[in-house]
Amino acid sequence: MKLPDVFLNRPLAHRGLHDIAAGRAENSLKSFQAAIDDNYGIELDLQISSDGVAMVFHDYGLARLTAAKGPVAQHTAAQLGDISLLHDGGGIPTLAEVLALVDGRAPLLIEVKDQDGQMGPNIGPLGEAAAYCLRGYKGPFAMMSFNPHATAEMAQLLPDAPRGIVTDSYVDEDWPLLPQATCEALRGITDYARTGSCFVSHQFDDLASPRIAELKAEGAAILCWTIRSAEVEAEARKIADNITFEQYLA
């Protein structure tokens, strides 16, 4: 499997082309429309509602991005849709709503958020909820997760969809809840072949990692996160095939 060229020749707007000053929150319908209007690809995140619906939202909790509190997973999809995103006014969208809006006009890089807390096998129903929406969708999309177990599940649920792993340097102090052995395995991207991945999306300031060079030599597409200036973009592109960006126009 190969990551289609459309994911390599359009910069990917991180959580959509969000801009608080312009009234567009991250992972909002407005931010996705803005990305489409400027001919960017779109990166987005998925969490699960209490009634099993794939919701487009980054955090596990509501407090940073809305005036509400509590875990996303303790609210129904209807309740989440009625919660306004700060600086935006729109509600938290479902994946189905985003797919209807985008309708193939931009490639979608979809991150399934880890539900296990330990990057382990207890990934819950989020993958199936996402696959339910994506089966039959005609536009270009690719699936990824920090949790290799979630990426592996995509091989079963959406076998024809390109899939990859979101990767990191896994410095211990940045991941205090993960056992050292888990960090070492994730740092080595040891599950790349097992998951049938064709790309990684790697932490931009660790692109010089020997493991990334090894994967690139083997034919993996190398994406990176998250670029916030043209200067950093120029450096990242010396290694990366494409970037995920925010806070400027790539």
For all residues of the chain together, what is the average pLDDT? 98
**Rounded CA separation 148/145 (Å):** 7
- Confidence band, pLDDT 50/70/90 cuts, at residue 62: very high
What pLDDT was estimated at residue 19?
98
pLDDT (tens digit per residue) in 65-94: 999 999 999 999 999 999 999 999 999 999
Task: Identify the structural domains of the chain with CATH numbers, from first to last.
Answer: 5-245 (3.20.20.190)
Where do the DSSP E strands lie in the chain? 12-14, 41-48, 54-56, 108-112, 141-145, 163-167, 199-203, 221-227, 242-245
Average pLDDT in the 28-50 region? 98
* Percent of the chain topping pLDDT 70: 100
What pLDDT was estimated at residue 79?
98
CB neighbours of residue 44 within 10 Å: 26
What pLDDT was estimated at residue 196?
98
What residues have CB less than 8 Å from 174, skipping those under 6 apart?
Answer: 168
Tell whether the model's pLDDT for residue 172 goes beyond 90: no
pLDDT (tens digit per residue) in 101-144: 999 999 999 999 999 999 999 999 999 999 999 999 999 999 99
